Structure 1
Amino acid sequence: MKTVEKSLLKELYTHQNIHQNLSVSQLVEKILSRNEGSLTSTGAVCASTGTYTGRSPKDKFIVNDEVSKDFIDWGKVNQPIREEVFDLLYRKVIDYLNGKEEIYQFKGFAGADEKYRLPIQVISEYAWHNLFSRQLFIPPTEEELDNHQADFTVVSAPDFKADPAIDGTNSEAFILISFKKRIVLIGGTEYAGEIKKSIFSIMNYLLPQRNVLSMHCSANVGAEGDVALFFGLSGTGKTTLSADPYRRLIGDDEHGWSPNGVFNIEGGCYAKCINLSEEKEPQIFNAIRYGSVLENVILDSESRIPDYDDISLTENTRAAYPLENIDNIVIPSVAGHPNTIIFLTADASGTLPPISRLTKEQAMYHFLSGYTSKLAGTERGVTEPQATFSACFGSPFLPLAPSKYAEMLGEKIDMYESSVFLVNTGWTGGSYGKGNRMKLSYTRAMIHSALEGELNSVETVTDGIFGLEIPMHVPGVPDEVLIPKNTWDDKAAYQKAAESLALKFQKNFEKFTLASDKIKQAGPLYKG
């Protein structure tokens, strides 16, 4: 880092009232005394994020300089910004924070494997953002704190608003990443998820340089030490299906796959709260207790009981809590190499098989595709299901070209002989509105068989449109459910819907020009 940058940060370090690594109790007291949030009936604190109730991807930029220019996959996701623009805005934010009565500093780590962990610090304007960081990342021991030297710094100033005409941003909000200066600058937005995902973006840049595949997935481990990864976009069942009473949770969202095995990048969970209930998701429900942070959840004015069904502020209500709040976890959050990899999709067309076994090339194809269906009501303007593709199941957080991550996945599948399955938790017997959602009991039975290795040598049949190998028998699942066409009354309608989806896969894959011919040929057989 340049001397001028160290000097600017030093101004914050010597701030008269900079609070470093306060305890949970101290932070809760600060949050309440500063009116940043309210105490709930469970002892969690609840804060509102104002205008921004989710990430703001159009306001995220990466500084284009001599360090980043030849490595970043520039485009709509990774928008470039000039170094001098970053420097001027950075100076303004530092001056702004130095004028505050109090600021907060969290020092900790990203990465549960000590060999690959990243020492980080978060300097925040809000006490509740500091508590959020403490619960989401890995706090240091007293000895580690004494010797802690941050390799990356997040500076968060939500109440500082940028002026796009002067500061070169798209709006008042900004998320700027400088890999050269190893600083993330966040302003204009109170949404704490920007802090979490900024660190994930950084790890997605740094870890591949150390032969570690960074992944947007959940992970668990069985009694025999067998490890499973679950990839999937929102609504596919990733959290539900990776929470298994017979398996221990490694983590629910972000992981690295190193030569040593799998490790959690985080030390906590950032769970969606919409329609949360103890009956449906007891682990998450009971984890939200003292020290946890709720975002945009409505509380009863008298009892302070959270109403998880109230989405008057946003459907993206969230809870942040440490992994220790969940029973049946792995401590530390590290395990061996994955035996089984599950790609989850919720296909609203009702034409993808409920489970299929993938070759390495097919795994890379579907990893790059990252397909699911976005359902009506999930976003403004979405009135019917839409096919959605997100490279590597997390394209908004990938600084490098998606093919880089896919190549690493293929190499590791080969090296560690991992089995890969595509599981459709979406519709069967017809498309959305006509068919039915796949029974959860069937999906659990299929995943159980996959994890137990029962599907590695079972007889399969090749789907004529998608080229997928479908097991002909799965214990606990009716045979007719396994072949999508057999569940449709109108076979012609099935054919039309399947062919339409196949063409969408192919159209989406045209952008992956760096993919090998073998990977390109691993997609749907139907060519239109």
Structure 2
Amino acid sequence: MNSVEVSSELLTDLLKGENVFKNLSVPGLVEKVLNRKEGILTSTGAVRATTGKYTGRSPKDKYIVEDFSTKDKIDWGSVNEPISETVFDNLYSKVIDYLKNKDELFVFNGYAGADKKVRMPIQVINEYAWHSLFAHQLFIRPTEEELLSHEAEFTVISAPTFKANPEIDGTHSETFIIISFEKRTVLIGGTEYAGEMKKSIFSVMNYVLPENNILSMHCSANVGQEGDVALFFGLSGTGKTTLSADPKRRLIGDDEHGWSSSGVFNIEGGCYAKCINLSREKEPQIFDAIRFGSVLENVVIDEHTRIANYDDGTLTENTRAAYQIDNIDNIVIPSIAGHPNTIVFLTADAFGVLPPISKLTKEQAMYHFLSGYTSKLAGTERGITSPQATFSTCFGSPFLPLPATVYAEMLGRKIDEHDVQVFLVNTGWTGGEYGVGNRMKLSYTRAMVQAALEGELNHVETVKNDIFGLEIPIHIAGVPDDVLQPSKTWADQSTYYVKAKELAMKFKENFKKFKDVPTEIEKLGGPRI
């Protein structure tokens, strides 16, 4: 037998065991979590679990198996680190043997992709019951009828208490997240952080979907009353969740989507929301979605009242809530819609120089998509004492197996094909950089985004920012005209231009890493310095 057949036989043997519980109901999984003392029940009926040492992703422990099918396709480097088939096969056998001896294992069968024409059947095998509950919340749940014919095309095997020995197993540490596209398996060990499962399947979809001419995207999406679809791209802290949760529009999904020849579809069946400082006043939809069956990760709970203290970051600032998308009101069911009319790129520019909203040409859209810019603020990480520019390719570089140009060129073609309007929205600072100016008022940002989504900015008079080449509307209802022109909000315009040129150079320096991008993308889409 070849290695693929051996892996398949080992997996089949594992799943035959009497210790395997397949597709338990939410109440059944909650009972298992409590009986096994993996978590506690909170006042809303959610399960709270803690993840110990690892409270976030482990990007330096993520690998892709380099084999005949991947060696010439993957964008190898620090994000997509290669690992040999031998290392994977050895670890795979060890993990399977390890799990065989567990008292209980849990299996979830479901889908990635809400569009039935292109969805991927997946299987998630867990050592922990709460991880299986997490999978039930985050992925798309099958009907009883669908379960009868479900055949997984990709399998996630998660064994948190199995720790690798780097000297023997060929890993960097005790932790590993390995994707084998040939064996259609994700192997996870040494970490209890549940988000590794979600993001691994997203990485898989970012490899598989483009092969079928479907653009995979790290974005939220909603749809208006007239069927008009909007996409929101943005890194943490830019307002993606806040702005896409619009009471006048229905949510398609909040994090991962595909764009096929039929339109947009959500890849997931749930939401994985950050919940540090969460309150009903600020984010009522998320607050009220955390109910029975939901999973709270590393949230501090009052031991007597079992009420969650979302303001307490003692365990981690990266506290999370996992819940079914059905827990949100005002959603699209199923999570599919037509082609986007509007795309919004969100950035929180702490230098205070980018316009609060600007219209982008196709070349500018591709440039800013490839750049994926926002800022880190002083105090957010150790050693950061002033605003720091940060770039994440296509607003999701840790999850992109293929070269960035694959995704950018697909986006460019779709913008042309569907005449999509693209806007860059700065939710960051105005009137000066962080520490001098002020954060853009949310009411102004909402007014600008609403005008963009309703088509009011498609044919308005604009003025060009002479450093970034961006077309800025000169008037938007509900927003002071001077706010739209960033230089006019600064006390000293000469200081503005110094800072603007400083940021422009950071864009240009970052763009040097793209070796195979057509020259017109940078020439027509980038800063004019």
- In the TM superposition, what are the counterparts of 1:208-223 in structure 2 within 5 Å? 208-223=210-225
Aligned counterpart in structure 1 of residue 233 of structure 2, from 215, 224, 231: 231
Counterpart of 1:23, as a letter, is S
Q: Secondary structure at the match of 1:444?
A: helix
Aligned counterpart in structure 2 of residue 135 of structure 1, from 134, 137, 142: 137
What is the CA distance between 1:524 and its match in structure 2?
3.8
Per-residue deviation, residues 479-519 of structure 1 (Å, max 9, x unmatched): 00000000000112111100000000000001111111110
Q: Secondary structure at the match of 1:407?
A: helix
What is the CA distance between 1:11 and its match in structure 2?
1.7
Q: Secondary structure at the match of 1:521?
A: helix
Q: Partner of 2:498 in structure 1?
A: 496
Aligned: 1:260 with 2:262: yes
Whole-Å Cα distance in 1 between the matches of residues 74 and 354 of structure 2?
A: 34
In the alignment, structure 1 segments of 5+ residues that lack a partner are none
Q: Partner of 1:25 in structure 2?
A: 27
* % same residue: 72
Aligned: 1:274 with 2:283: no
Q: Partner of 2:409 in structure 1?
A: 407
What is the CA distance between 1:432 and its match in structure 2?
0.2
- In the TM superposition, what are the counterparts of 1:42-53 in structure 2 within 5 Å? 42-53=44-55
Whole-Å Cα distance in 1 between the matches of residues 295 and 523 of structure 2?
A: 46
What is the CA distance between 1:520 and its match in structure 2?
1.2
Counterpart of 1:171, as a letter, is S
Aligned: 1:453 with 2:455: yes
Aligned: 1:8 with 2:10: yes
Q: Partner of 2:522 in structure 1?
A: 520
Q: Secondary structure at the match of 2:219?
A: strand
In the alignment, structure 2 segments of 5+ residues that lack a partner are none
Whole-Å Cα distance in 1 between the matches of residues 73 and 384 of structure 2?
A: 35
What is the CA distance between 1:81 and its match in structure 2?
0.2
Q: Partner of 2:323 in structure 1?
A: 321
Whole-Å Cα distance in 2 between the matches of residues 360 and 200 of structure 1?
A: 26
Whole-Å Cα distance in 2 between the matches of residues 307 and 324 of structure 1?
A: 24
Aligned counterpart in structure 1 of residue 40 of structure 2, from 30, 38, 41: 38
What is the CA distance between 1:522 and its match in structure 2?
2.7
Q: Does structure 2 retain, via aligned residues, the 8 Å contact 1:505–1:523?
A: no
Q: Secondary structure at the match of 2:238?
A: coil
Q: Partner of 1:197 in structure 2?
A: 199
Counterpart of 1:38, as a letter, is I
Aligned: 1:79 with 2:85: no
Q: Which TM-score applies when normalising by structure 2?
A: 0.99
Aligned: 1:112 with 2:114: yes
Counterpart of 1:271, as a letter, is A
Whole-Å Cα distance in 1 between the matches of residues 188 and 380 of structure 2?
A: 26
Q: Secondary structure at the match of 1:177?
A: strand
Whole-Å Cα distance in 2 between the matches of residues 192 and 355 of structure 1?
A: 36
Q: Does structure 2 retain, via aligned residues, the 8 Å contact 1:499–1:526?
A: no
Per-residue deviation, residues 273-324 of structure 1 (Å, max 9, x unmatched): 0100000000000000000000000000100100000000100000000011
Aligned: 1:174 with 2:176: yes
Aligned counterpart in structure 1 of residue 291 of structure 2, from 289, 292, 303: 289
Aligned counterpart in structure 1 of residue 365 of structure 2, from 363, 366, 379: 363
Counterpart of 1:125, as a letter, is E
Higher mean alpha-carbon deviation, 375-384 vs 290-299, is at 375-384
Whole-Å Cα distance in 2 between the matches of residues 32 and 384 of structure 1?
A: 45
Whole-Å Cα distance in 2 between the matches of residues 260 and 377 of structure 1?
A: 44
Aligned: 1:124 with 2:126: yes
Q: Partner of 1:150 in structure 2?
A: 152
Q: Secondary structure at the match of 1:189?
A: coil
Counterpart of 1:33, as a letter, is N
Higher mean alpha-carbon deviation, 516-525 vs 225-234, is at 516-525
- In the TM superposition, what are the counterparts of 1:431-470 in structure 2 within 5 Å? 431-470=433-472
What is the CA distance between 1:126 and its match in structure 2?
0.2
What is the CA distance between 1:377 and its match in structure 2?
3.1
Following TM superposition, the consecutive aligned residue runs of length 4 or more in structure 1 with deviations greater than 3 angstroms are: 523-526
Whole-Å Cα distance in 2 between the matches of residues 288 and 522 of structure 1?
A: 46
Whole-Å Cα distance in 1 between the matches of residues 114 and 399 of structure 2?
A: 20
Counterpart of 2:35, as a letter, is S
Q: Partner of 1:246 in structure 2?
A: 248
Task: Give the aligned length.
Answer: 527
Q: Partner of 2:381 in structure 1?
A: 379
Q: Secondary structure at the match of 1:356?
A: strand
Q: Secondary structure at the match of 1:41?
A: coil
Q: Secondary structure at the match of 1:135?
A: helix
Q: Which TM-score applies when normalising by structure 1?
A: 0.99
Q: Secondary structure at the match of 1:522?
A: helix
Counterpart of 1:179, as a letter, is F
Per-residue deviation, residues 4-55 of structure 1 (Å, max 9, x unmatched): 0111101211111101010000000000000000100000000000000000
What is the CA distance between 1:380 and its match in structure 2?
3.2
Whole-Å Cα distance in 1 between the matches of residues 120 and 103 of structure 2?
A: 30
Aligned counterpart in structure 2 of residue 68 of structure 1, from 43, 67, 70: 70
Per-residue deviation, residues 239-287 of structure 1 (Å, max 9, x unmatched): 0000000000000000000000000000000000010000000000000
Q: Does structure 2 retain, via aligned residues, the 8 Å contact 1:465–1:524?
A: no
Q: Does structure 1 retain, via aligned residues, the 8 Å contact 2:366–2:525?
A: no
